[in-house]
Structure 1
């Protein structure tokens, strides 16, 4: 009799769990079953409301490198796009799990996907032929709180572009070793090391990325630079991502099938929860070399921002 009673209780428990899961599934918004449709309206870079009257980096751009720069803009192939997106999601998935360097799990870190208009914004930044901060507006009509990352490598002879991009993305990620839980809110490391690239890489609400790659000659060295623009920027004194006890527990559409600690690709973001456009994250070494690089081109590539451009001043 006790055995029968136990079986009945077990069966009742299973039925309750099934019913609970069904209720949870029913609560998911309808958009959780379909991909977000692409925007049908292209940004008019000369009249974006999110710029607040400041000049946009893409306004009246001739889509050419500045005078004096012998640069080559790469054609970012579909394979390269897939590679960049996959590497982002691999790193984000590791961090969201909450087992890396004592960093907390993320309840809602979104899966990253490619966005071509953000790639265009990244190309506008690349045409400057500079690793210096961008002091102009660089939002889009769809994304008013964009962020970006930059990295470059120099080498005397030809290298595999994909291997270089892999190393650049890894360099951003490996800044995690200087971060702790407080860093995810303050935006600074305990000892003052650079972690901005890492924070942008794992910004929880950033679900779209577009990148540009270009090379340029500087004396006897070749430079390959990667510029990635994101749909959302992290902001100091706000959490880089939603901290939780269990990874992906706050995802509206559930977790992703391939990256279990990230939200499904159907997840939607209404806003970035702040309106600060993207700032630049450049390592101290890059700044020092950038001075020589700017001088080589005999161009004012790093002007002091005017008061109207302070919102877009880089956080180096």
Structure 2
């Protein structure tokens, strides 16, 4: 069972970026024996029937961000560009990948992410699995800022910040983590990077909400992923770039397999 630490948060008038709580056991990886344990699990966002949580402010009303085609493409490209660099062996401290998947948008994962951001608080949930993706992963980011900073805090700007902040955790990990995902990780958080770097990560779906609380504007974003890492299994298999891609290499991302590559997940 995952154990989560509670963070006490103090909001100031400057921009605050609050990442989701990292789990004690390497940040959310499922044990190999229990990697389907979350299927059918029920937590508050599952029980809320798609309505906004009572923890959300009443006025002004919170609202969901329209994840239009432009934002969806932006999120997917932000992931694929980083994965491509990693797979090519261009990320400092990391070797190339033999079979790194190309990612695409998934509407079901995005719908489950909507349930999460309707909580108006940064909390992981156990209801992000879908009929297709039974061992899904999840990343959450939370920003608070004052009225004077509103102009530059566009939806795309904050989505970029979220993805960048998750990915920068590569500085806390290493190839030992990549070769065998650990349990009881004692260092700084690695799970947000690791789920983005998973070689079988074929899909992502995200949602975001905005609301006002304590005189600050808030932006909450959740991204759900096709798969999560499994303790004792590799995040990706190190070796010659694309050596195990059965369909060939992606024309736009030469470190990733083609979109038609089939992964058994």
**Structure 1-normalised TM-score?**
0.65
Deviation at 1:167, TM superposition (A): 1.1
Larger Rg: 1
Q: Tell whether 2:50 aligns with 1:63.
A: yes
- Residues 1:88 and 2:75 are matched in the alignment: no
> 1:86 deviation in Å?
0.3
Tell me the secondary structure at the aligned position of residue 87 of structure 2. helix
| Correspondent of 2:211 among 197, 212, 216 | 216
Query: How many angstroms does 1:54 deviate by?
Result: 3.2
**Residues 149 and 95 of structure 1: is their aligned pair in 2 closer, same or farther, counting only changes over 3 Å?**
same
Moved over 6 A (4+): 188-191
Shift of 1:68: 4.0
Q: Is the alpha carbon distance of 1:51 and 1:132 closer, same or farther for their aligned partners in structure 2, counting shifts above 3 Å?
A: closer
Partner residue, 2:33: none
Q: TM-score, normalised by structure 2?
A: 0.77
Aligned pair partner of 2:248 in 254, 273, 276: 254
**CA distance in 1: counterparts of 2:236 and 2:129, whole angstroms:** 21
- Secondary structure at 1:55 match in 2: coil
> Do structure 1's residue 235 and structure 2's residue 230 form an aligned pair?
yes
Contact 2:142 2:221 in 1 (8 A): yes
Q: Which residue of 1 aligns with 2:259?
A: 265
Deviation at 1:50, TM superposition (A): 7.4
* Alignment-derived partner of residue 64 in structure 2: 73
Q: How far apart are the structure 1 equivalents of 2:40 and 2:227?
A: 20
Kindly provide the CA deviation profile for residues 28-63 of structure 1, in whole angstroms up to 9, marking residues without a partner as x: xxxxxxxxxxxxxxxxxxxxx975553376656432
Return the structure number with greater helix share: 1
8 Å Cα contact 2:88/2:96 also seen in 1: yes
The answer on 1:205 being equivalent to 2:205 is no
In the superposition, relative to structure 1, how do residues 262 and 132 fare at CA in structure 2: closer, same or farther (>3 Å)? same
Contact 1:175 1:197 in 2 (8 A): yes
Q: Secondary structure of 1:89's partner?
A: helix
1:310 corresponds to: none
Matched residues in 1 for 2:88 and 2:226: separation?
22
Rounded to whole Å, the distance in 1 between the matches of 2:228 and 2:39 is: 17
Cα distance per residue 1:116-158 (max 9 Å; x no partner)? 0110011111122221232x33311111111111111111022
8 Å Cα contact 1:176/1:198 also seen in 2: yes
> Could you tell me how far apart the structure 2 residues matched to 1:231 and 1:133 are?
16
Deviates more, 1:59-68 or 1:169-178: 59-68
Task: Measure, in 1, the Cα distance between the counterparts of 2:182 and 2:164.
Answer: 19
1:99 positional shift: 2.5
Q: Distance in 2 between matches of 1:251 and 1:57?
A: 40
Paired residues, what number?
A: 221
Aligned twin of 1:149: 139
Q: Point out where structure 2 has 5 or more consecutive residues left out of the alignment.
A: 1-35
d(CA) in 2 for partners of 1:67, 1:61: 10
- Cα pair distance change 1:188/1:84, threshold 3 Å: farther
**169-178 or 60-69: bigger deviation:** 60-69
